[in-house]
Amino acid sequence: MEKAKISAYQLFVLIVLFELGSALLLPLAIEAKQDAWLAILIGMAGGCCLFFIYYGLYHYYPDILPTEYTQKIIGKFLGRILSFLYILYFMYLAARVLRDFGEMLLIFAYSETPLFVTNSLLIIVIIYTVRKGIEVLARTGELLFVFIGLLAVSGFLLITLSGVIQVTNLQPVLENGMLPVVKTAITQTLYIPFGEIIVFAMIIPYLNRPEKLKRTGLYALGVSGFSLALVMAMNISVLGVSLTARSQFPLLSTIQTIQVEQFLERLDVYFMLTLVIGGFFKIAVFSYAAVTGAANLFNVKEPSRLVYPIGVVILLISMIIASSFSEHIEEGVKVIPLYVHLPFQIIIPTLLLFAAYLKNRNKNLN
């Protein structure tokens, strides 16, 4: 663990930027059709429950990283293996987001550029950032958060001024009842993006005022959930359900409809700013978690040295993870949530929390 402290506000900003990261750009929860926003909100509620699991674990071991307390809960050997798996999990997720990001950039603007180039550029920036430590990452977040906020407000204004919002597209609400909505929430939005907050288990020990964690985390989840729901509702109300579902990047299509006075139009740069800044934060947080976890697990004195190899490995994983973008998306929707996210985000933490509870109860009895 590096000697660093972040404030509650910084944690809030990091969580929001992380949650919005790539989820803002994708057709999130579109299986729920016009009720996608509702599915997102349900997913958010589930995310809050998951947050309480991680919070519970933090509560038992507030000063040490998960890579350390797993060893205390289930023993040195098993704990180390589990921690190692988690580090791999974070690296894999970083690679997934990086791949998402690179493919989006290629489709959207740089069709002639090789994927490897766009990805390696971003990973270089991330290596530079992660090497500076969590404090710098958090401070950068504070500045860019304001920037993204300004972008969002001006974007909303422009879309409203363009007069393309048709609220009728959102109706009828709950056409097929609650079931499809809940199903979408449980199979998708719960894991991406809300369950991914598990990565913050590696970051919350740096919080300078632990008593503020619960409120900060819930606020951050709430803000990001409502923003995502709002953006998705806006996408659907502008584009309609079928176009949103077919579009690879509904937000981009929405932004492209902006047309104010024949002058303010084609503001694709809005999308690109959101894409790059969001992707940057998401990958940076995952990489940071992987680096600090690995340094802690293997007792590396200078964590900043691990940044280079881990960055390169993330870059390589992002290249070999799938042979095409559709394969990548297919994996992300069908395989990953069930076989990777479910155990890593829900099952293992719940079991750990239970074990920790038993262990600490015994301690108290003695």
Partner 1 sequence: MRSIFKRNKKKSSSKDRQEDSQGQSKQPINASLSANLDVIKQKTGNSSDIVFRTLKMGRHSEIKAAVVYVKGMVDSQAIHDFLIESMMNNRDLHEKLIREKTMAVITEEVVAFGGIKPVSGLDELLSSLMSGETAILVDGISEALIASTRAGDKRSIQEPTTQLAIRGSKESFIESSETNIAMVRRIINNPNLWVESMKLGKVTKTDVSIMYVNGIAKDEIIKEVRQRLKKINLDGILESGYIEQLIEDQTMTTFPTLYHTERPDVVAGNLLEGRVAIFVNGTPFVLLAPAVFIQFFQSVDDYYARFDIATAIRFLRIFTFFISILGPAVYIAATTFHQEMIPTGLLIIVAAQRESVPFPAFVEAVIMEIIFEILREAGVRMPKAIGSTISIVGALVIGQAAVQAGIVSPAMVIIVSITAIANFATPSVAIAISARLIRFLFMVSAATFGFYGIILALIVLTVHLCSLRSFGIPYMSPLAPFIPTNAGDTIVRKPWWMFKERPRLMAAGNNVRSGENQQPQPPEDREIKMNAGKGERNES
Q: Which residues bind partner 1 (CB under 8 A)?
A: 7, 9-10, 105, 109-110, 113, 118, 121-122, 125, 128-129, 132, 136-140, 142-144, 262-263, 265-269, 272-273, 276-277, 280
Task: Output the smallest distance, CB 134 to partner 1, in A.
Answer: 12
Task: Output the smallest distance, CB 280 to partner 1, in A.
Answer: 6
- Using alpha carbons, list the distances in angstroms from residue 179 to 35, 184, 338: 11, 9, 19
Torsion over CA: 8, 13, 18, 19 (sign): positive
Nearer residue to partner 1 within complex by CB, 46 or 155: 155
Nearer residue to partner 1 within complex by CB, 59 or 139: 139
Q: Which helix (H) or strand (E) holds 264?
A: strand 264-265
Based on its alpha-carbon atoms, the radius of gyration of the chain, rounded to whole angstroms, reads: 20
Nearer residue to partner 1 within complex by CB, 6 or 73: 6
Task: Output the smallest distance, CB 139 to partner 1, in A.
Answer: 4
Nearer residue to partner 1 within complex by CB, 8 or 190: 8
Q: How far apart are CA 104 and CA 121, in angstroms?
A: 15
Helices (H), ranges, the chain: 8-23, 36-60, 66-74, 76-108, 115-132, 134-162, 178-184, 213-239, 241-246, 250-256, 268-297, 303-320, 325-330, 336, 348-365
Closest CA to 199 of 351, 345, 362, 346: 345
Nearer residue to partner 1 within complex by CB, 77 or 263: 263
Q: Can you tell me whether residue 293 is helix, strand or coil?
A: helix
Task: Output the smallest distance, CB 156 to partner 1, in A.
Answer: 20
Task: Output the smallest distance, CB 7 to partner 1, in A.
Answer: 6
Task: Output the smallest distance, CB 62 to partner 1, in A.
Answer: 22
DSSP 194: G
Nearer residue to partner 1 within complex by CB, 118 or 189: 118
Q: How far apart are CA 162 and CA 142, in angstroms?
A: 30
Q: Which helix (H) or strand (E) holds 205?
A: none
